[in-house]
Amino acid sequence: MFASNPSQQNLRQLYDADVIDETGDKVGGVGQVYLDDVTGNPTWVTVRTGLLGSTETFAPLDGASMVDGNIQVAYRKDFIAEAPGIDAEHSLTPEMEGELYSYYDIRTLADEAEVTDEAQPTDQTAAAAANEPR
């Protein structure tokens, strides 16, 4: 849904949007948009919540869509409000991103590769299976 190498206009649409939850309830306005370092795709937004938008928490754009100019995410408002947050002055570290993926139970490409590697039989396992009588 969110294109690779987004244009300035596309990014402006994200910054100007409100985030709504899976039921359509407003969560808050977009504070920051975080792009993937490799693909350039928008992957996270911070959502201004709390009194006068004083708190920013992260919401994933994985599975999100634009609905009437708003970003609708696949999570409930209260769950998003409890998500980890950071100061707007700081960048998103790999550790923080890992914490977010864990909180939202989102599998990454690295997770998928790890699962695939675990599912592959080792050379010894494959050799033993080949030598077993059928």
How many structural domains comprise the chain?
Answer: 1
Rounded distance between C-alpha atoms, residue 69 and residue 72, angstroms = 9
Q: What digits encode the pLDDT tens for the residues 53-81?
A: 567 899 999 999 999 999 999 999 999 99
Residue 61: predicted pLDDT: 94
Strand partners, 126: none
DSSP letter, residue 4:
S
The CATH number of whichever domain residue 109 belongs to comes to 2.30.30.240
Q: Please give the pLDDT value at position 134.
A: 46
Residue 107 lies in a domain: yes
Confidence (pLDDT) at 1: 55
pLDDT, tens digit (0-9, with 9 covering 90-100), for 18-35: 999 999 999 999 999 998
Instruction: Name the residue range of residue 19's domain.
Output: 8-131
Dig out the tokens for 38 from the structure.
């490799």
